[in-house]
Structure 1
Amino acid sequence: MKIVCIAWGSLLWKPEPLKLASGWHPSGPRLPLEFVRDSDDSAEVALVLCEGAAPMPTYWAYLDTDSIDAARAMLGAREKIVAGRPEWIGSIPPVDGAAVDARIAAWLRARAIDAAVWTALPAKFGGENGRIATADEVVTRLNGLDPEQRALAEEYVRSTPAHIDTRYRQLIAARLGWTPRRDAHVTRMR
């Protein structure tokens, strides 16, 4: 079974411990993405799926496994998703209550790829899963971080590929000056 991981954020430059069998390809399905998730273990505001946001380009890479369960476990470990939240790992075929995303299913069929996994974390703000912060709230939160946390959050935003140009990212760049890094890169196979 050919299994891919679909990604758009830090998986692109820090995939470990995800075991990739190829480099990242820039022709993934266009998905609605926005910087609307307070990270559980750092200062960053992560880029996640957000219905209603503009569709953005994504990347994909083959995984070094032929088991959907192993692929989900690898991604869950990388994203530090607790066992009680299996729906936070999207997959086709679906497992553990994961919803099927029709956009990803169509993309897989068009490429004759058997299966996919992706991070399906919800928006989160102020400790409340499902809460979508406004762009102003996100900028205010980022601007109020202490210098060390702010540097980490800035690195995340600036390392995200420039063509993932969301509305919130545009406001972050305008107000905080966090423009895409020229040397930002996507991990490639060596």
Structure 2
Amino acid sequence: MNIVCIAWGSLLWKPGPLKLASGWHPGGPLLPLEFARDSDDSEELALVLCPGAPLIPTYWAYVDAPDLDAARAMLAAREKIHPGHPEWIGSFPAVDGAAVQPEIAAWLRARGFDAVVWTALPPKIAGTEGRMPSPAEAVDFLAGLEGETREAARYYVRRTPAHIDTRYRRLIEARLGWRPLHEAAVTRMA
């Protein structure tokens, strides 16, 4: 079974327990992404799918998994997703009643893969799941971090590939000076 994972953030440089059977390839689907989720460990403002955001290029890689359930489980472990939220791991074919991103379904059909998984965490700010931070809230969240936590957040934003050019990223660059690293952000390219 040819299962692929779509990525746009830290999965690109630290896949963790997600076992890949290839490097990351450009040419994933264009998806509505924004820096809009304060992570549960408050170390970053993660990129997540945000309906209405501009479409951004993503990456894909083959997953080393025997079936879709195994691929979903590995991605859930990597993302530290609680079993009570199976919808936070997107897949096509869809399981557990999760909504399907139409852009991803169309991309999968065009590419001829058997299945695809992706992180489907919602926006979150100030502990409120599903709430999209305003641009000011997003930048203020990052500006308020200190020490190692601030460095981890800064690294996340800077390490994200430069072509993932979102509205919030431009504000973060303008206010905090966190520009993309010049080195290749994707370390496991095919």
| 1:88-167 aligned within 5 A | 88-167=88-167
Contact 1:160 1:184 in 2 (8 A): no
| 1:47-66 aligned within 5 A | 47-66=47-66
1:184 Cα deviation from its structure 2 partner: 4.0
Taking structure 2 as the reference length, the TM-score comes to: 0.97
User: Which amino acid letter does the alignment assign opposite residue 134 of structure 1?
Assistant: S
1:24 Cα deviation from its structure 2 partner: 0.3
Contact 2:25 2:189 in 1 (8 A): no
Distance 2:67 2:42 in 1: 31
3-state DSSP class of the match of 2:17? coil
Q: Gaps spanning 5+ residues in structure 2: where?
A: none
1:66 Cα deviation from its structure 2 partner: 3.0
Counterpart position of 2:83: 83
Q: CA 1:93/1:14 → structure 2, altered by over 3 Å: closer, same or farther?
A: same
Q: Gaps spanning 5+ residues in structure 1: where?
A: none
User: Which amino acid letter does the alignment assign opposite residue 53 of structure 2?
Assistant: A
Q: CA 1:189/1:140 → structure 2, altered by over 3 Å: closer, same or farther?
A: closer
Q: For this pair of structures, how many residues does the alignment match? A: 190
User: Which amino acid letter does the alignment assign opposite residue 23 of structure 1?
Assistant: G
Counterpart position of 1:14: 14
Alignment of 1:69 with 2:69, yes or no, is: yes
Distance 2:186 2:143 in 1: 26
Contact 1:123 1:129 in 2 (8 A): yes
User: Which amino acid letter does the alignment assign opposite residue 47 of structure 2?
Assistant: L
3-state DSSP class of the match of 1:11? helix
Distance 2:94 2:62 in 1: 18
Distance 2:116 2:139 in 1: 33
Q: Which runs of 4+ in 1 moved over 4 A?
A: none
Contact 2:15 2:78 in 1 (8 A): yes
Distance 2:72 2:153 in 1: 26
Q: CA RMSD in A?
A: 1.1
Q: CA 1:189/1:64 → structure 2, altered by over 3 Å: closer, same or farther?
A: farther
1:68 Cα deviation from its structure 2 partner: 0.3
Query: Percent of aligned pairs with the same residue?
Result: 69
Taking structure 1 as the reference length, the TM-score comes to: 0.97
- Superposed CA offset, 1:121-152 (max 9, x none): 00000000011011111111111111221111
Contact 1:158 1:184 in 2 (8 A): no
